[in-house]
Each structure stands twice: as structure tokens, then as C-alpha cells.
Amino acid sequence: MYKILTGIFLLTSIVFAYLWFDTTRSSEIDTFTRDAATSAVSELPFRIEDVILSFESYHSEEDEKANFYAETLLTRSLQQLTGNQRLLNAAERSSELEKGYFRDYSNELFKLRSVITKESFTNEESDKVEEITAALKEIHSDVQYIIEKESFTVSDKEKMQALTETIRTFNDQFLS
């Protein structure tokens, strides 16, 4: 009887140890959402480049029809700039990242979008076009430098803060 109880106790201990170990590691879905968020954030230099090109095109077109197409292109580029919000929200809900992890990053991207929108559509004859274009090109190169490092991942807080601060400097320059 003693050997049977010891055997049962040993088996239950092994089962509970496995279950505890299984719950402490990340699930495949959590890892996948983190990697998908990393991929989405890694596209930021391309998104900013699209915004630069469409912003320049919008402000340089004189023809009404060409200006309409440039306006449409700029609008789509701005939408794509913040288009991965749902994916970032899903990554925040994973066990890999904490809730609100992308809050500052997303807020700064929306502010950047509003600066471009204000200077393009609200204030069509803006005198800041060249200044904004130069600042966007600077942001593009800074963001590209941060993201192109081989070890970039969204779970690296320092790199995400550097990315957010880069965008924040642009916003502070034009929102004040």
C-alpha cells in the first residue's frame, strides 16, 4: 500500500511540475504576435518614405487632376502609417509584452500623422513644407538606423523608446 501511494504521489508531482512549466513559458501564439508586431514596426521606414514622397508630390503638383491623385496618395500613406494598430494591440495582450506597451509609440505616430494632415489639408499653402520634408527625411534615416540593427525586436524597450523619442522630436518641433 505504501508503494502504491508513493507511486501515485510521484506521478502527480511530475504531472503538476509539467503543467507549471508549461504555463510559465510563452505560447506559440504569443511569440507569433510579438514577431508580427516586430515585422510591422520594422516596416516604419518604408511607411515614412511613402509619406515623404506623397507629401512632396502633393505640395508640388499644380495640375488639379494630378493634385487630386497626389492627395489620395498622401491620404493612403498617412493611413498606412498607423494602420497596424490592431496588430500592436494584439501583441500587447500577449504574455510577452505588458498592456500599454505601444501606447507612447502609437500616440507619437498619430501626432505625426496629424502634423502632416494639418500642414497639407488644413493649411494647404503652408510655408513649412520644405522644413517638414527635411525633418521627415531626418526621421526616416534615424528610424532606419534603429530598425536595421540586426537584433531589433519590439520586446527591446530601449530600442522602442529610441524609436518613440525620434518621432517625438519631430512632433515637438512642429506642434509647438
- Domain extent listing, the chain: 35-175
b/e 148-176 (16+ beta carbons within 10 angstroms → b): eeeeeebeeeebbeebbebbbebbeebee
Which pLDDT score, from 0 to 100, does residue 144 have? 92
Average pLDDT over residues 102-116: 91
From the CB of residue 58, how many other CB atoms can be counted at a distance below 10 Å?
A: 24
Residue 165, C-alpha cell as written in the block: 523619442
Range with lowest mean pLDDT among 21-35, 36-50, 86-100, 127-141: 21-35
Q: Say yes or no to pLDDT of 111 above 90.
A: yes
Percent share of the chain, pLDDT over 90: 31
Residue 153, C-alpha cell as written in the block: 525586436
The Cα angle at residue 141 between residues 92 and 51, in degrees rounded to 5: 70
pLDDT confidence of 167, banded at 50, 70, 90? Answer: very high
Q: What would you report as the CA-atom Rg of the chain, rounded to the nearest whole angstrom?
A: 24
- Find out if CATH 1.10.287 is the number for domain 35-175: no
Q: Helices 157-175 & 103-117, crossing angle to 10 degrees?
A: 30
Which pLDDT score, from 0 to 100, does residue 126 have? 66
Average pLDDT over residues 104-124: 87
CA distance readout (Å), 36 to 1, 144, 154? 54, 18, 10
pTM: 0.79
| Whether the Cβ atoms of residue 139 and residue 48 lie closer than 8 Å to each other | yes
Average pLDDT over residues 55-63: 85
Q: Which residue has the higher pLDDT, 165 or 24?
A: 165
Distance CA 84, CA 126 (A): 29
Counting DSSP H helices and E strands in the chain, the numbers are 8, 0
pLDDT confidence of 26, banded at 50, 70, 90? Answer: low
In 3-state terms, what secondary structure has residue 162?
A: helix
Q: Say yes or no to pLDDT of 63 above 80.
A: yes
Among 40, 55, 30, smallest CA distance to 147 is for 40
Q: Say yes or no to pLDDT of 95 above 60.
A: yes
Averaged pLDDT of the chain: 85
Range with lowest mean pLDDT among 25-34, 56-65, 127-136, 147-156: 25-34
